[in-house]
């Protein structure tokens, strides 16, 4: 009886250890330009999940500049209110460190001609000024 109990605990601990190792070794996902294009096409075909993935890629600072810029350009084809709000928020907070991304996001908001974007642009100017002082 005692031997079976010890063997059961041993198997349980070994299983837990294996799960931790597998989870810890999971590859961090880096997206490629091709992945962004695939998601853009999926969105064009009506897959709304692709739109949210593009938004996540755009906001992820660990992605490369080119991939984030491509995701932003793909998002510019959407006029989804929540996507516009996401972009307004990132501009408002000046969370886009790369000047090219900030410029592209601002141009996108201006092209939408949304009155609510004006507040985001003004807040971005103020936040940028505060960061530089």
What tens digit of pLDDT does each residue of 20-59 get? 766 655 445 789 999 999 999 999 998 989 999 999 998 8
Cα 103 versus chain centre, distance: 18
pLDDT at 88 over 70: yes
pLDDT at 60 over 80: yes
The pTM assigned to this predicted structure is 0.60
Residue keyed to tokens 């109990």? 5
Between 77 and 128, residue with greater pLDDT: 77
Domain ranges for the chain, please list them. 33-132
| Confidence band of 17 (pLDDT split at 50, 70, 90) | low
Euclidean distance between the first and final Cα of the chain, in Å? 72
Looking at beta carbons, which pairs linking 90-99 to residues 24 or more positions away fall under 8 Å?
Answer: 90/58, 90/59, 91/120, 91/121, 91/123, 91/124, 92/119, 92/120, 92/123, 92/124, 92/127, 93/123, 93/124, 93/127, 94/124, 94/127, 94/128, 94/131, 95/59, 97/61, 98/65, 98/68
């Amino acid at each position: 009886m005692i031997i079976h109990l010890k063997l059961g605990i041993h198997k349980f601990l070994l299983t837990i250890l294996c799960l931790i190792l597998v989870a810890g070794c999971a590859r961090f996902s880096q997206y490629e330009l091709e992945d962004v294009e695939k998601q853009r096409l999926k969105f064009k075909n009506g897959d709304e999940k692709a739109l949210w993935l593009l938004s996540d890629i755009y906001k992820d600072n660990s992605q490369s500049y080119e991939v984030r810029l491509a995701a932003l350009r793909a998002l510019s084809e959407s006029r989804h209110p929540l996507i516009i709000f996401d972009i307004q928020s990132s501009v408002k907070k000046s969370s886009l460190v790369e000047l090219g991304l900030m410029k592209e996001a601002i141009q996108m908001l201006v092209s939408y001609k949304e009155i609510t974007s004006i507040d985001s642009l003004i807040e971005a100017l103020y936040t940028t000024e505060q960061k530089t002082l």
